[in-house]
Amino acid sequence: MDERIVEVFDEILDVDLIDVVISNSTDAKKINKVKIRPIMLKQQLIFQVSEYCGTQVFHFNYKKQELIEKLQEYFTGLFRQVQIKTVTKNISILLSKKGTVTIKKKLVGKEIRRTADLSHNRKKTYILKEDRKVPFLIDLGIMTSEGKIVSSKYDKFKQINRYLEFIEDVVEYLPKDREINIIDFGCGKSYLTFAVYYYLQELKGFDVRITGLDLKEDVIEHCNQLSRQYGYEKLSFQMGDIAQYNEQDQVDVVITLHACDTATDLAMQKAVMWGAKVIMCVPCCQHEVNGMIESDLLQPILKYGLIKERISALITDGLRARMLEEMGYQVQVLEFIDMAHTPKNILIRAVKQGTVKNTKESKQDIQDVLDALHINPSLYQLLLENMDKK
C-alpha cells in the first residue's frame, strides 16, 4: 500500500472522522464497497467497518492500528476510490490501474462543519431528510406540509430512500461533463421517477433529463402537471409502449419498476442497444419461463404451482443477469423491498464495464441452462440470438 495512503488514514482515524467510503471495486463478487465510521465502545474509540458483499453486509470492529493493517488488503489492487469526510475536511483518493495515487483535500467551511456521531446504534440517515420539505412527498401523503413523515407512511418513505441508495451507489459511473439522459419505462404514478430527479438534480447538482413512459393517459397527464408545478423543467412523461419507443439516440440510465413479464426484457434490450451505462430493473409478473420450463429431474417439485412459479421467476432473473454480463455489464442481483410489499423484491442493477463478449465459449453456460430446462426466454432472443445472426 502506498505510504501516502497510510499517512492519510493515520491522520484521519480519530474522533473527528465522520465516515469513509471505499468504492470502485475491481472484484465486486468479493467485496463491492466498504464503509468505515468511528464508534465509542466500552469507552474506547473503535472503527466499525462494513463490507458490502452482494446482498449481504458484514460488520467488523477494529482498533486504529488493526484497521490500517486491514487497509493493506483493500488497497492492493481491490479498490480504486476513497471518499473521506471529517469534521474539518473532505478527502478523495484515486488509484489508477497503473498504481498512480491522487489525493485531494478540501477544507469544510466553519458554517457547514459537521459533528461526528460516535454512538454505536445511531439513527439512520436518509437521503431524503425527515425534516426537509419535499414537494412530491407531500403530494403523495408521505410527508406533511411541515416536513414531518406521516407515521402510517414511514415504510414507504424508507423504501423510496432505499431505492435512492441504489442510485447513489452508481453515481460515480454517470457523466459529469454533460446532460445525463434517463428513461423510466412503465413509470406508473412515478413516485420513484420524481425521487430520482429530485436526488440527482436538486441534491447532487447533476444536469439530468428524465423521461417517464407509460400506457395510461390519465397517469401521464397527472405526472406532467406535477412536474410543471414543481418547476422540474427536464422531467417529462409520455404515453407509449416500450417495444415501439425509439425517440432517443443516447440514454445513460434505464429504469424499470415492475414492468410486466417480457416488458422488462424489452427495456433491457433497449438499454443494451443504447449502450446505457446503468440499468436498474425490478421485474414483475414473470410468466414466460413458467409456461416453458420442463425438466424430468425437477418434475417432482415443479408439479406444485407456487413452487414452479417462484423457481421460474428466479431462473428468469438469473438468466437476465448472466446475459447482461455477456453484454459487458457488471451485474448485481439485490434485495429490494418494493412499494406494494410483495414477494417481487429483486432488483437487477447492471453497470457497463467492458465490451460485448458474445463468443460461443463464453455463453455456453447460458445455453446449457436453456437446453436443460427446454426454455428460450425473450431476452436471449432479443440479444444473443439476434447477434449470432449478424
Give the best-scoring range by mean pLDDT among 3-7, 54-58, 75-79, 299-303: 299-303
CA atoms within 13 A on the CB side of 354: 11
Number of other residues whose CB lies within 10 A of the CB of residue 287: 14
Contact 55, 335 (CB under 8 A): yes
Decide if pLDDT at 111 tops 50: no
Q: Give yes or no for residue 173 having a pLDDT over 70.
A: yes
Quick: pLDDT tens for 321-345: 999 999 999 999 988 764 444 556 7
> Residue 337: exposed, middle, or buried by beta-carbon count in 10 A (0-12, 13-18, 19+)?
middle
Q: State how far the Cα of 239 lies from the Cα of 228, in Å rounded to an integer.
A: 17
pLDDT digits (tens, 9 = 90+) for 19-32: 999 999 988 888 99
The residue with greater pLDDT, 345 or 240, is 240
Mean pLDDT along residues 126-135: 84
> According to the model, what pLDDT value does residue 133 have?
87
First to last CA, the chain: 47
Strand order from edge to edge, sheet including 101-107:
56-62, 44-53, 33-41, 17-25, 79-86, 89-95, 101-107
Residue 110 predicted with pLDDT over 70: no
**Integer Cα distance of 125 and 51 in angstroms:** 18
- Tell me the pTM: 0.68
Q: Assess whether pLDDT exceeds 50 at residue 207.
A: yes
What is the pLDDT at residue 255?
Answer: 94
Supply 316's cell numbers.
428468469
Mean pLDDT of 106-124: 60
Place 223 in a pLDDT band, splitting at 50, 70 and 90.
very high
The answer to whether the beta carbons of residues 241 and 274 sit under 8 Å apart is no
- pLDDT tens column, 43-93: 788 999 999 987 788 889 999 999 999 998 899 889 999 999 988 889 999
What backbone phi and psi angles, to 5 degrees, belong to 332? -125, 140
**281: nearest Cα among 237, 209, 234, 329:** 329
pLDDT computed for residue 373 by the predictor = 95
- Single-letter amino acid, residue 95: L
- Given a contact cutoff of 8 angstroms between Cβ atoms, the answer to whether 325 and 331 are in contact is yes
pLDDT at 121: 56
- The whole-chain average pLDDT of the chain stands at 86
Percent residues over pLDDT 90 in the chain: 46
Given a cut of 70, is residue 109 above it in pLDDT? no
- DSSP states along 25-48: ES-TTT-SEEEEEEEEETTEEEEE
